[in-house]
Amino acid sequence: MAAALLEVDGVTLRYAGERGLVTATERVSFSITEGERLVLLGPSGCGKSSLLKAIGGYLAPAEGEIRLRGRRVSEPGPDRMMVFQEFDQLLPWKTVRGNVQFALQASGRATAVAAAQRADAAIAKVQLGAFANAYPHELSGGMKQRVAIARGMAMEPDILLMDEPFAALDAMTRTAMQDELLQLWQDTRFTVVFVTHSIQEAIRVGSRILLLSPHPGRLKAEVNSDGVDRRLEDGRLLSEMIHLSLFATAAATSIES
Ligand code: ADP
Ligand code: MG
């Protein structure tokens, strides 16, 4: 088996809330190998964003640890780039090219000339070549998300972290963006952790799906979804199975007790 690129090892995440500690996830463990498209799937509030933030180095585990290439993650770094749901993650006063280039230069990963070249290549990959000089307010929601993806990809991170990046898009744009992401993956085989609460999206995007139970998030099941087309019978069966395991908790608990 290939060595793990990222290991999430017994990770408990807590927040200090007004009424005491909130446990977002409890002892979650999984690992990712290079080139995987791992999806974290679960209902709202189960700790998906918290897990992604912890992998990003923005939230320290209360228990357990996260390792990237065997080294403990303790802070954010250009080896882990994040794409969020919100359309306002771009700098409004910079053009498309400026936004992508800025991240590269700020990280010290490239000189100005190299950054410009890499930015243009990434912008072309997400089909925005004609909009390199446009400003965020001139773009649709889907286009802004493509810029955010280009910005992340241009950094050539070890892992791209995507937190419901298409959730705010209309259904048709969302499906198109899922296809584009897969196309991009075919071209470059990056490693991605993709968070969603949509079963359809999980099946469409993921090569492996981790199901998280609601609050506090625990790992419930793991599904290999590599090569499954959600539009075909296979995909429908998988979708039903995931639905059952995600929503069977309440019934199972009441039978046990
Ligand atoms: P998801 O992304 O799956 O919807 P989150 O990771 O955002 O879930 O949240 C998991 C749990 O942690 C929720 O109960 C949420 O209310 C809580 N939580 C998230 N962020 C904070 C915060 N900054 N302060 C306190 N509690 C938080
Ligand atoms: Mg979230």
Q: pLDDT, tens digit, for every residue of 42-61?
A: 999 999 999 999 999 999 99
Q: What is the dihedral of CA 60, 66, 165, 16, to 10 degrees?
A: -20
3-state secondary structure 97-151: HHHHHHHHHHCCCCCHHHHHHHHHHHHHHCCCHHHCCCCHHHCCHHHHHHHHHHH
> Would you say the CB of residue 67 lies under 6 angstroms from ligand 1?
no
Confidence of residue 253 (pLDDT cuts 50, 70, 90): very low
Determine contact, residues 86/166, Cβ cutoff 8 Å.
no
Distance of CA 163 from the midpoint of ligand 1 (Å): 13
Where does the chain hold its CATH 3.40.50.300 domain(s)?
A: 1-79+159-223
Cβ–Cβ under 8 Å, residues 166 and 145: yes
The candidate with the shortest Cα–Cα distance to 158, out of 192, 209, 195, is 192
pLDDT digits (tens, 9 = 90+) for 220-242: 988 888 877 767 777 777 888 88
Give, in order, the Cα–Cα distances in Å from 166 to each of 101, 109, 200: 23, 28, 12
Average pLDDT, the chain: 90
- Could you tell me which CATH number the domain at 1-79+159-223 has? 3.40.50.300
Atom of ligand 1 nearest to the CA of 52: 6
50 lines ligand 1 (CB under 6 A): yes
Q: Given ligand 1 and candidates 8, 12, 15, which is best to mutate, with the most ligand atoms within 8 Å of its CB? A: 15
The predicted model gives 95-118 an average pLDDT of: 90
Angle of CA points 166, 115, 180, to nearest 5° = 25
What pLDDT, on a 0 to 100 scale, did the predictor assign at position 103? 86
According to the model, what pLDDT value does residue 1 have?
59
**Two structure tokens written together for 187:** 């071209």
The secondary structure of residue 87, as a DSSP letter, is G
**pTM for this entry:** 0.91
Distance (Å) from CA 45 to ligand 1 centroid: 6
Per-residue pLDDT of 200-216, as tens digits, reads 999 999 999 999 998 88
pLDDT value for 257: 35
Residue 6 pLDDT exceeds 60: yes
Number of residues that make up the chain: 257
15 lines ligand 1 (CB under 6 A): yes
pLDDT, position 256:
39
Residue 207 alpha carbon to ligand 1 centre in Å = 26
Reply yes or no on whether the pLDDT at 87 is more than 80: yes
